[in-house]
Structure 1
Amino acid sequence: MSAPIAHGGGITAAAVAFGGRPEDWLDLSTGINPCPVALPDIPARAWHRLPDRHFVDEASRAARDHYGCGEILPLPVPGTQSAIQLLPRLIQADDTIAVTDERVAVTDSRVAVVSPTYGEYARAFASAGFAVDTVDDLAAIGSEHRLAIVVNPNNPDGRVWPAEMLIALHGRMKSANGFLVVDEAFGDADPALSLTSRAPQLPNLIIFRSFGKFFGLAGLRLGFAIARDDILARFEDWLGPWAVSGPALSIAGSLLRSDVSPIRGRINERCAGLHGVLKGAGLQISGGTALFTLVADARAGDIYTHLCRHHILVRKFDYAPDWLRFGLTPDPAADRRLGEALQRFER
């Protein structure tokens, strides 16, 4: 089994290392809306009973209408990370042999992951015994790949692939009897980037959507998979019964039918505030999405430590030591706190 990947979050560990109470830290290490929406009323039966089918169906219909995926009813999943863990089963290697505690592929099947990106995709397939090719361009994905993964917009650099290029890639994958996975976890802030409206015409496409990032409810652990019926049926079977809680389904059914334009407006406002602070500190913005900003700076490691000493956590990257990712601040007061800490950094 490969080593765990370091992600954003981890305020508890940061507080142990640098002091202070976790609740007093400013956590800018994730790409989550820092202004969570108000929770809708949740019926008592959602807490009292196992999640009945009508809760699942209502959340699926609300997701279908929200994402605009036509006749496809998205499958609620307990966070898209859970669906990532299932992907290797779609293309399980024909032959594997056990070597101590590892599984080593003895097949020509390969998986392509457009990188750098969210590390759990490569880890899930490598752990299942697949050869994983990390590529930097769609053109590098060939007929030898049984499955290709594109995060769009990408985490952590915000790179965006035009829809027509992804549709052309789907055609190549389909011709080779392979699948294309497009992770749109950060797609809610700019729906024009999404392939969801094309999904009914793209049978070998699987789209993942995150719920918690945009609504600021990551602790709910909820996402949706959008694909043809037989693929979703397999995912549902593999997840087992009652995979998503009744309260999560109820909340999704309500919020996905609400007017989300104020949420987008608030996110854009917070993004502008963050950019103002970073530029004011002389930092170079090299990428990002509405929910996070990537900074490239040779002093990134020192800036990270300096901010931790001021009880502000950002995301650093072991594979790119000159990168820092800043999540959104929740309000102008937090902008000032970040700005003051950056101004104290000795250049």
Structure 2
Amino acid sequence: MGDAKPSSGASSSWIQKLQAEWLLLLFATLTIALALLDPQPLAKYQYWLQLPTLAGLMGLLIAIQGIRDSGLVQHAAVAVVARAHSLRSLGLLLVSATALLSMVLTNDVSLFLIVPLTLAIGGISNLPVLRMVVLEALAVNAGSTLSPIGNPQNLLLWQHSSMPFLHFVLAMLPTAAVMFALVATFTWLWLPRDRIELTPDKIDGHVTSNRLGAWSTVALVGMVLLMEYHQAPLGAVLLLVLFALLARSSLARIDWLLLLTFAAIFLGLGHFAELSLVRDALDRLDFSRPLTLYASGILASQLISNVPATVLLLDRTPDAIALAVAVNVGGFGVAIGSLANLIALRLAKQPHGLRMLHLVSIPFLLVCAPLVYLVWLWLG
């Protein structure tokens, strides 16, 4: 009888953990169900798993955890807050920085840098953290739209079309401009007018470890460069070994379940997108019609995320820019529309984050989609 309570407590703890990882459970179930109903060769699963992408995420997680543990993020938070006078101006600064970084460092890298900074700022001030993270998720989708290297779908379409870099940027400029204007306007309207209020007893500008901060920053830069040259697995292994030798405690604090969640998403959605039922339905659509392609790209992004949607529609349309516009707009809406949304929420770990994102991002899509389409047709 005396052993019943600890056992019950342990079971309750596991149930709570599983409830928190509902996204992992959902896509793991989808993956297993599709594997049983529609078995495929091992090579297919290896392709869907996108190991280079997972390796890149792992390397970024390791490097950013080192920077967090060094205290550099907290130090930077104090410096940023000192240069802003109101919550609105601080919000616009963070949103603009997120969008600009996503153009050159890709959408996920910019979130790995900005979200921890936002959390640190929220810890010393009255900044509404969850609102800010949702805005940053919108901003990273808007900013990365402009650049051929801003996100995976743009990189894929740019390489597939063999289009000059500047040509791609100029073609995507109207779409990105409309998106960012909407994000900036919403930031100004949604954040409180209040001045920034600091909590002095929570301010600690002292850097815990200059050495950890320095080589973690070097590791981050190195990881981004290796990802650019398609050597993400090598970078991830090097960082894993480096931190295992020099900062093992940082490895223990990494969100490893995030990697498992993305693996399950890649496998489940990759398999789903290649089902004959899905492909037969697409074969009935006329993608030479702009509105059909635009609506299909957005809807597919809502169902299977914008990167798998790009792969699914890539060979069905000769117009890479039209598809790029559609799948980038499709990054708004439901959280799965862009994996960057899930990264932002997971890094923030704020209560009711998913609900808040949907309350904002779905209406945002409903406003953004027709505006972008009208501007695109007008300028095209």
Q: Above 0.5 in TM-score?
A: no
| Greater share of residues in helix | 2
Normalized against structure 2, the TM-score is what? 0.26
| The structure with more strand, counted as a fraction of residues | 1
So what's the TM-score if we normalise by structure 1? 0.28
